[in-house]
Amino acid sequence: MSNIKNVDPRNDFPIFSVKSNSNLVYLDSAATTFKPKCVLDVMKEYYEEYSSNIHRGLYPISVKASEEYEQTREVVKSFINSSRKEEVIFTKGATEGLNLLASTLCKIIPHGSEIVVTIMDHHANFVPWQQVAIEKKFKFGVVMFDPLNVTLEMFKQIISNSITSETSVFAFPYVTNVMGVEFPVEELIKIAKAKNPNVLVVIDACQAIQHIKIDVQKLDCDFLVFSGHKIFGPTGVGVCYGKYALLERLSPYQYGGDMIEEVATHETTFAKPPSRFEAGTQPIAEVIGLKAALKYVQSVGQQKIHNHSAKMYEYAIDSLNKKLGEKVELYTPKYLKSSSIISFNLRKCHSHDVSELLANKNICIRAGHHCAQPLHTHLDMLSTCRASFSIYNTFSDIDLFVETLSNIYDLLS
Amino acid sequence: MTIYHDVLMDHYKNPRNFGCKNCDTNATSHMHNPSCGDKIFLKLKVDGGVIENICFEGYGCALSTASASMLSEHVKGKKVSDAKKTTIDDVKKMLAIDVSSVRLKCASLPLEALLEALNSIN
């Protein structure tokens, strides 16, 4: 049922073979994904066999560490189809990537221009822009719409109306983190650039990177970020992609070793991108682990991961409707596409109670505002439960989840 | 379903001193936990240094609602000076459960509201 390549993908993930996890139902992959053995192996190998700092040693283990690290850049380049590897900056995660962009782009965009985000953005793609706008006196626009009821045509019109000659930055998610809404990114970028060719488009691809093939050249986005741990990679590493000509215009985000060209007592010149943005010792094991994660995804196939998550999503919605009916309130978009994340509430039940009672059965979901308070406020929701799916989920996971929810409703109502 | 024992569920489904309509009060507080949307409005009627009446309204999970309900029973009729000595450990004892670190805020929000209302009196 859940088989991919005719082999159970759960066998690739050591967490399922731990005795205490024998009944684990993990429906929180939007928060973080599990790590396959191949990722853990290469990180262990680095620490055990060639642990050393990169770019600075001429001895064999340092040369190997540098090569492995830089090979990840090549793998990311082909994974997102950027035109050159120097467009790939390693960060500690998407949040750092977005902070890097907010704090450096604000120095090159016109004074008093407008930064636009959407009501569906994660706080990481919302707060950095909001705060930079306050501090540097930019206008701050939030595209407001009802994701549950808006049609695709209305949505595109709303986006078009939100971009003006004053807009300098337009930041939005590829797939939203609360409802899994898939934005028609390529079209939206065309719409935005048709309204204003100078607008810089920033894409938060965290919830897309695992299961949607991303081609930054085809999309024509200016910047795109994601976190390694959302795609079976380690925590503590992420990617910030930027068009090279734009990266060259950005000043450093942090100062320190490895990001300089020449330092004199009273002045410093800086390295070219990407080194300019990679100050200090990098998360070397994590970058190497990211390479293994991306290769793992390539070997499984992003389309297969997408199809499997979508199958779990549809089965879960169908089961929830059939078994719980009016007892559950599903926050699924009527017209926009969604495929891997479901937000819901049991009627008159608090999300924390539902989540804790599921946890008693070792069923893992998330409860709260999912780092999207503006969206919850906009839709007048105090908090929600969120279930998200990946390749290691099975139909029996969903069955147990829905059955337990039914029991929880009986207990709490 | 360990922490959701009968007494706690009874306080959740039938919270004591719930509802502030037409209550005669002279001290109020409002607490909010943005991480889960919990809200509590708490009102006190204090006379001669004694809590004569207490009531609350709001929205919260089972833990937070039961905590508010039990706390209201605990301090009603007590001297303000004694009620101010209530701690989170007292709340945990009333709830009779091990409150995990992630749910601590649920259990403690009503206590914070109570202490704020008490401190506003003088």
First to last CA, chain A: 34
C-alpha–C-alpha distance, residues A10 and A14, integer Å? 8
Q: Give the three-state DSSP class for B87.
A: coil
pLDDT, tens only, A287-314: 999 999 999 999 999 999 999 999 999 9
Do B4 and A352 lie within an 8 Å CB cutoff?
no
- Which pLDDT does position A396 carry in this prediction? 97
Residue B64's H or E segment, with its range, is helix B62-75
Contact A357 B35 (CB under 8 A): no
A103 pLDDT above the threshold of 70: yes
Q: Which residues of A280-310 are buried (b: 16+ CB within 10 A; e: fewer)?
A: eebbbbbbbbbbbbbbbbeebebeebbebbb
Position A4 pLDDT exceeds 70: no
- Confidence bin at A249 (pLDDT 50/70/90): very high
How far is A185 from A6, CA to CA, in rounded Å?
A: 33
The pLDDT-based confidence of A77 (bands split at 50, 70, 90) is: very high
The residue of chain B nearest to residue A408, with distances taken between CA atoms, is B1
- Least Cα separation, residue B36 to chain A (angstroms): 5
- Whether the predicted pLDDT of A6 surpasses 70: no
Q: Which pLDDT belongs to residue B37?
A: 83
- Residue B43: the pLDDT is 95
The whole-number pLDDT of residue A331 equals 97
Mean pLDDT for chain A?
96
Residue in B1, B36, B61 closest to A360 by CB: B1
Q: Encode pLDDT of A23-42 as tens digits.
A: 999 999 999 999 999 999 99
Residue of A nearest to B5 (CA): A411
How confident is the model over A224-251, as a mean pLDDT?
A: 98
Which residues does chain A have within 8 Å of residue B61's beta carbon, measured at their own beta carbons? 350-353
- What whole-number distance in Å separates Cα of residue A5 and Cα of residue A304? 9
Q: Determine whether the interchain pair A382/B59 forms a contact, defined as Cβ–Cβ distance below 8 Å.
A: yes
Write out the two tokens for B119: 């401190």
Could B37 and A382 be called an inter-chain contact, meaning their C-beta atoms sit closer than 8 Å? yes
A177-214: b (≥16 Cβ within 10 Å) or e: bbbbbbbebeebbebbbebbeebbbbbbbbbbbbbbeb
Asked which of A78-82, A217-221, A299-303, B99-103 is least confident by mean pLDDT, the reply is B99-103
Q: To the nearest whole angstrom, how far is the Cα of B62 from the nearest Cα of chain A? A: 7
Query: Given an 8 Å threshold on Cβ–Cβ distance, is A353 in contact with B2?
Result: no
Beta carbons of A373 and B34 less than 8 Å apart: yes
Chain A, window 332-351: residues with a beta carbon less than 8 angstroms from a chain B beta carbon: 350-351
The Cα A152–Cα B99 span in angstroms is: 45
* pLDDT the model gives residue B122: 67
- Using a CB-CB distance cutoff of 8 angstroms, which residues of chain B are in contact with residue A367? 36
Return the number of other C-beta atoms located less than 10 Å from residue B83's C-beta: 22
In 3-state terms, what secondary structure has residue B104? helix
The answer on pLDDT for A363 being more than 70 is yes
**Omega before A128 within 30 of 0, i.e. cis:** no
pLDDT in the model for residue A407: 97
- Residue A3 has a pLDDT of 45
> Residue B62: which of A353, A376, A383 has the nearest Cβ?
A353
pLDDT band at A343 (very low <50, low <70, confident <90, very high): very high
> Which of B13, B38, B61, B95 to probe the A interface (max A CBs under 10 A)?
B61
Chain A contact set for B37 (CB, 8 A): 368-369, 376, 381-383
Q: Does A123 touch chain B (CB under 8 A)?
A: no
User: What pLDDT, on the 0 to 100 scale, is given for residue B2?
Assistant: 74
What mean pLDDT comes out for the span A355-367?
96
* Chain B partners within 8 Å of A350 (Cβ): 36, 60-62
Give the pLDDT score at B114: 96
Tell me which chain B residues have a C-beta less than 8 angstroms from the C-beta of A412.
12, 62
For a pLDDT cut of 90, what percent of chain A falls above it?
Answer: 97
Q: Do A369 and B1 touch (CB under 8 A)?
A: no
pLDDT over 70, % of chain A:
99
A200 forms beta bridges with A169
pLDDT surpasses 50 at A2: no
Structure tokens at A346: 């049991």
pLDDT digits over B15-73, tens only?
Answer: 999 998 888 889 999 999 888 888 999 999 999 999 999 999 999 999 999 999 999 99
Distance CA A115, CA A127 (A): 12
- Which residue reads 């937000």 in tokens? A343
Residue-level pLDDT at A319: 98
Whether residue A231 lies within 8 A of chain B, CB to CB, comes out as no
A411 contacts on B by Cβ (under 8 Å)? 1, 4, 9
List the Cα angle A283/A284/A287 in 5-degree steps. 85
Concerning whether A371 is annotated as a catalytic residue, the answer is yes
